[in-house]
Structures are given as structure tokens and as C-alpha cells.
Amino acid sequence: MTSLNGRNGTKINQLLKIWPYATVATQSWLDKQGIYRQLSDSYCRHNWITRIDSGIYVRSSEDVDWSGALYAIQKQLGIKIHLAAESALSIVGAGQNIPLGQGSALWFFVDHSEAKRVPDWFEKHFASNYSIKIKYTSLFSEDHGLGLRQENIRDYDITISSNERAIMECLYLAPKAFSLEHASKLMESMRMLRPEVCQQLLMHCSSIKVKRLFLYLAELHNHNWVKLIDQSKIDLGSGKRQITPNGKYVAKYKLVIACLNKHEGYDNV
């Protein structure tokens, strides 16, 4: 790595101080720091930074993974994307049976109203060890940020779903993306959900299926917090919803669903 002297040397030192460790820098962000394309090219020639795609850089010798790339997409490009569903549960240890290692599926939800698309370089350069799943949806149509939180990774924060939102996203994906039995096991571990957060999410959720399944599974697993949710404020729709073929009928929530517990009763639930 060669050195830079004078003004350019001062600029690179200032840049490295404000550039979070092991994250991507986009040229649009560099422009805001006064590092225009010509200077970026110079830094690349001096091996201070490395261009990995058009307008996309990492600091040389740093190992940048998917989270460092997600940071840039969220914070620099301003795209409404977040780590979601079982991936969000796994990263905070809530999903005890979900490894987030090499080969795992990484789920990301993007607000359906988002005009910007997730850039191709994300999966191309930072997700080779994972199966990237990006879902464009308006599951919580009135407030994209509802039930999201910041998770500190290394030296930066990324936006992920809270446990309350993540389990609802899992139910949204079931049973097509993964089995309903798996979703039920995840719900069984949700003993410490915040009822006030669940209430708000359920009131703003656009999926009748998710709302009914959430309440049904919470009751099935005897979670105390579900008793604090006011169902009179939640639109549960009308008519039956068939979740699985050849299932049995859960009268209370008008669900046709496979047996998830050998002690279940159906018609009078």
C-alpha cells in the first residue's frame, strides 16, 4: 500500500476515520464526503481502497460480508430493506434451530412501494455463501418501519425485524417457503414477545392469513402475552382461509390447517 502526501493524504485519513470498519462505500456516499470519482480512482491506484463493482468500494485488505454491504444499501442508498423472518430471529439467537452460517438462506423484505431495487452487486459480491431471498411486499402497509430495530454488527448498525415482526414475516412465508410445522416451532419459542408491539403490528398487518395464524399459534402454545392483545381492534376478515390441503377446521379463527400438536382440538377451538 503506497502512501499519499499533502491534501489527498489528509482526505484519505479523514475518510478512513468516518468509514465504518468492514462496510461498503458507494460513490454517491463518497461524493458527499468530497471524494469524487477521480479521487476514488487515485485511492484505488494507491491501494487504499478497492473497487469491486461500478461505484462500489471496500477498504483494501478488509473482509466485508453481506451485513457490511446491507449497511451501505440501507444507510447510503436509503433503500427500505431489512433482514427479515427467520434470518432476523437467528441473528439475535431467538431461532435456536436456525443456523446463519454458510449455505443458509438470508431473507430480506423490501417495502413494495420502494422505487429503488436492491442492486445486483449485493448478491453478486457479498452473498456467494448464502441463498439470498428478497421479498417485495407491503405486509405492514401503513408504516414500513413498524417493528424494526437496529442491530449492532462489528462497528455499524443494520436494520432488522424485531422478534414480533420477524415471526409474522415467517407466517407470511409459510407454508410455501418453509413448513408450517417449522413456523409453529418458532412460535413455540416466542415466550417473551411484547404484547403492545404485537398489537400494533396486528392492527397494521395487511394479511388476514398472518393475523389469524399468529393468534392461533400463540394460543396453541399457551403464551401468556397473547391474553393482553385486544382482538376487537384487529381486522380478522371473514370467510375461511385454507392454509394446508386436507387440514381440519379451527372454528375460532376460520382456518383449515394441518394438525400441529397431537393434543389439539379443532372444531371447538
pLDDT in tens, 160-190: 999 999 999 999 999 999 889 999 999 999 9
pLDDT score at 69: 96
Q: Within a domain: residue 144?
A: yes
Q: Is 97 found in the same domain as 225?
A: yes
Phi, psi of 103 (to 5 degrees): 90, -10
pTM: 0.88
- Beta-carbon neighbour count of residue 32 at 10 Å? 10
pLDDT score at 129: 77
SS3 81: strand
98 dihedral zone (left: phi>0; alpha: psi -120 to 50; beta):
beta
Instruction: Write the CB contacts of 128 (distance below 8 Å, at least 6 apart in sequence).
Output: none
Q: Within a domain: residue 253?
A: no
Give the span between the Cα atoms of 269 and 267, in whole angstroms: 6
Ranking 28-42, 128-142, 168-182 by mean pLDDT, the lowest is 128-142
Give the span between the Cα atoms of 4 and 16, in whole angstroms: 13
Per the structure, the complete domain to which residue 18 belongs is given by 6-59
Phi, psi of 69 (to 5 degrees): -75, -40
- Beta-carbon neighbour count of residue 224 at 10 Å? 11
Q: Calculate mean pLDDT across residues 61-89.
A: 94
Q: Is 25 found in the same domain as 100?
A: no
Q: Calculate mean pLDDT across residues 226-250.
A: 92
Edge-to-edge order in the sheet of strand 56-59: 25-26, 56-59, 49-53
Structurally, the chain folds into a number of domains equal to 2
Q: Calculate mean pLDDT across residues 141-149.
A: 82
pLDDT digits (tens, 9 = 90+) for 90-124: 886 544 344 455 557 899 999 887 767 899 999 99
pLDDT score at 3: 53
pLDDT-derived band of residue 87, with 50, 70 and 90 as boundaries?
Answer: very high
- Beta-carbon neighbour count of residue 245 at 10 Å? 8
Higher pLDDT, 253 or 6: 253
Q: What's at 131, amino acid-wise?
A: S
CATH number at residue 17: 1.10.10
Asked if 24 contacts 122 with a C-beta cutoff of 8 angstroms, the reply is no
Q: Is 101 found in the same domain as 197?
A: yes
Q: Within a domain: residue 1?
A: no
pLDDT score at 253: 92
Q: Calculate mean pLDDT across residues 30-40.
A: 95
- Find, among 67, 62, 54, the residue nearest to 121 by Cα: 54
pLDDT score at 247: 84
Residue 84, judged by CB atoms within 10 A of its CB (0-12, 13-18, 19+), counts as buried
